[in-house]
């Protein structure tokens, strides 16, 4: 039996707390239900202690950053009180004074920094808006080059959460720092525009950012490139962001990893406004570019929502699009024309479509034996669907069953 890890005993705001040796004061306080506000810290990343929002009094010469300060036996910590709150309020005002006058707001309720501003009466109802008379900062640029993430350097407080999210959670190592003094800023690769850098658009930095310096761009018309299967629908302007969205817990439908997500649904426009990663043991709030930004298919005009059956007069099978028909030994290539292909199909009910598939499979088995059948499942299916599929495959005596989840789930495991 392994021995229990050694503990230290300390007092936080008069409460006796025991914490595993090596814990920080912030961790010990959190485990004891004592809230200490943070900005640069997130328990998923290595603590760096750069913003000093979490300061506490440990009886030293200066206040200590509780997110990096380890607990010591017998320590007496004051985590709240007029002096500490005044410090946090001044720090919040200083950070807010550098924020853009018209921020790109990600969420209706505002960022973590805005929430702190509200807590200290600096923004929101009843706030004078003068931020303790501090001069306002201006002049830092924006970077609109990424197709999915907007960057506003004026809103950046250099907390490095995005840097650590990119390095430690996603192992992409794209974001760093450049410049000195007031010119210090986050940088992508060797200070390239984000859209030209090696960023893979996973959005983890945007999720980490406590100030809306990194925000999701709305799925603007220019992202709605035509799919190769159809004429481009007329782009519509993105609807205005509604005051409230309905959070719907669900799963990413793209691959067998099955990351947990929250879809923020604009019910009035029947659309997903954006997707967040959700806490779960599978994905720990992380997402890839498909899970975070690939959701506009749900309301795409070309999406098939009903089964289609090939019309009898469209047999024998062959290329339906002139782009794929072989002419003089060559395929002309180009885009498959939706309007040319669709007339060869008719809509059907699920019962009719499934009945037809079952009948055809039985015909193949009767004519050629079960070795003529093989099952290939999709990584887009859930574990339960994969289980049902292999049960079906076994009942049909198909000798081979596989799924594309083998490829993408394996890759994801390697990256951890």
Binding ligand FES by CB under 6 A: which of 12, 25, 64, 65?
A: 65
CA angle 265, 266, 269 (to 5 degrees): 135
Q: Report the site for ligand SF4 in 260-299 (rule: CB under 6 A).
A: 283, 287-288, 290-291
Q: Is 38 in the site for ligand FES (CB under 6 A)?
A: yes
158 binds ligand SF4 (CB under 6 A): yes
Instruction: Return d(Cα 62, Cα 60) in angstroms, integer.
Output: 5
Q: Which of 36, 38, 216 is nearest to 113 (CA)?
A: 38
Gap between the Cα atoms of 45 and 175, Å rounded: 15
Question: Which of 214, 263, 272, 398 contacts ligand SF4 by CB under 6 A?
Answer: 214
Of residues 52, 107, 224, 346, which one binds ligand FES by CB under 6 A? 52
The single residue among 65, 75, 208, 273 that binds ligand SF4, judged by CB under 6 A, is 208
Per-residue mark of binding to ligand SF4, 164-203 (x: CB under 6 A):
----------------------x-----------------
**Should residue 254 be labelled a site residue for ligand SF4 when binding is judged by CB under 6 A?**
yes
40 binds ligand FES (CB under 6 A): yes
Is the separation of the CB atoms in 377 and 402 below 8 Å?
Answer: yes
Which span (38-46, 77-85, 234-242, 304-312) binds ligand FES, by CB under 6 A?
38-46
Q: Which of ligand SF4, ligand FES, none does residue 53 bind (CB under 5 to 8 Å by kind)?
A: ligand FES
- Quickly count: other Cβ atoms within 10 Å of residue 121's Cβ: 13
- Helix or strand or coil: residue 30? helix
- 318-345 burial, b at 16+ Cβ within 10 Å, e below that, comes to eebbebeeeeeeeeeeeebbeeebeeee
User: Is residue 10 within 8 Å of 71, Cβ to Cβ?
Assistant: yes
Using CB under 6 A as the binding criterion, the count of chain residues that bind ligand FES stands at 12
- Nearer to ligand SF4 by C-beta: 158 or 341? 158
Q: How far is the CB of 273 from ligand SF4 (least distance, A)?
A: 17
3-state SS class at 92 = helix
**DSSP strand pairing (345-347 vs 142-143):** unpaired
**In sequence order, what are the residues at sequence separation of 6 or more whose Cβ sits closer than 8 angstroms to the Cβ of residue 341?**
229, 320, 321
Regarding 209 and contact with ligand SF4 (CB under 6 A), the answer is yes
The residue among 377, 372, 376, 370 whose CA lies nearest residue 397 is: 370
158 binds, among ligand FES, ligand SF4, none (CB under 5 to 8 A by kind): ligand SF4
273 touching ligand FES, by CB under 6 A: no
- The length of the chain in residues reads 416
Question: 52 is in the binding site of which of ligand FES, ligand SF4, none (Cβ under 5 to 8 A by kind)?
Answer: ligand FES
Nearer to ligand SF4, 12 or 51 (CB): 51
Instruction: Build a one-symbol-per-residue string for 350-369: x at contacts with ligand FES by CB under 6 A, - elsewhere.
Output: --------------------
**Phi, psi for 226 (deg, rounded to 5):** -65, 140
User: DSSP secondary structure string, 148-177?
Assistant: SEEEEGGG-----HHHHIIIIIS----EEE
Question: Residues interacting with ligand SF4, by CB under 6 A?
Answer: 156-162, 186, 208-209, 211, 213-214, 252, 254-255, 257-259, 283, 287-288, 290-291, 412
Question: Residues interacting with ligand FES, by CB under 6 A?
Answer: 38-41, 49-54, 65, 67
């Amino acid at each position: 039996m392994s021995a229990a890890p050694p503990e230290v005993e300390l007092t936080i705001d008069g409460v006796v707390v025991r914490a595993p040796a090596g814990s920080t004061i912030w961790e010990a306080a959190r485990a004891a239900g004592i809230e200490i506000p943070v900005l640069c810290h997130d328990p998923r990343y290595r603590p760096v202690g750069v913003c000093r929002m979490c300061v506490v009094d440990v009886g030293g010469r200066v206040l200590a950053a509780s997110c990096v300060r380890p607990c010591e036996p017998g320590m007496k910590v004051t985590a709240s009180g007029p002096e500490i709150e005044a410090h946090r309020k001044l720090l919040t005002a200083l950070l807010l004074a550098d924020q853009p006058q018209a921020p790109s707001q990600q969420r209706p309720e505002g960022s973590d920094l805005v929430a702190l501003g509200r807590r200290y009466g600096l923004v929101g109802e009843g706030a004078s808006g003068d931020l303790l008379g501090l001069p306002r900062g201006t002049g830092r640029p924006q970077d609109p080059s990424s197709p999915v993430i907007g960057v506003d350097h004026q809103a950046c407080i250099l907390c490095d959460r995005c840097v650590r999210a990119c390095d430690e959670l996603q192992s992409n190592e794209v974001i760093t720092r450049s410049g000195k003094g007031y010119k210090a800023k986050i940088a992508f690769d060797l200070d390239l525009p984000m859209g030209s850098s090696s960023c893979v658009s996973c959005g983890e930095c945007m999720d980490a950012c406590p100030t809306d310096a990194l925000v999701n761009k709305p799925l603007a018309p220019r992202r709605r490139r035509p799919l190769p299967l159809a004429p481009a629908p007329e782009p519509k302007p993105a609807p205005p962001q509604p005051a409230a969205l309905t959070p719907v817990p669900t799963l990413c439908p793209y691959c067998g990893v099955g990351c947990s997500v929250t879809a923020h649904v604009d019910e009035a426009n029947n659309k997903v406004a954006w997707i967040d990663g959700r806490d779960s043991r599978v994905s720990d709030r992380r997402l890839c570019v498909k899970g975070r930004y690939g959701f506009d298919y749900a309301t795409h005009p070309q999406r098939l929502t009903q089964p289609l059956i090939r019309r009898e007069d469209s047999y024998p099978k062959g290329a339906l699009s002139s782009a794929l028909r072989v002419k003089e030994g060559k395929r002309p290539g180009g885009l498959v024309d939706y309007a040319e292909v669709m007339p060869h199909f008719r809509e059907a009910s699920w019962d009719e479509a499934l009945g037809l598939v079952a009948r055809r499979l039985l015909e193949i088995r009767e004519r050629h034996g079960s070795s003529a059948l093989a099952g290939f499942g999709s990584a887009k299916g859930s574990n339960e669907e994969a289980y049902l599929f292999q049960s079906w495959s076994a009942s049909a005596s198909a000798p081979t069953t596989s799924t594309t989840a083998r490829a993408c789930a394996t890759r994801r495991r390697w990256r951890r």
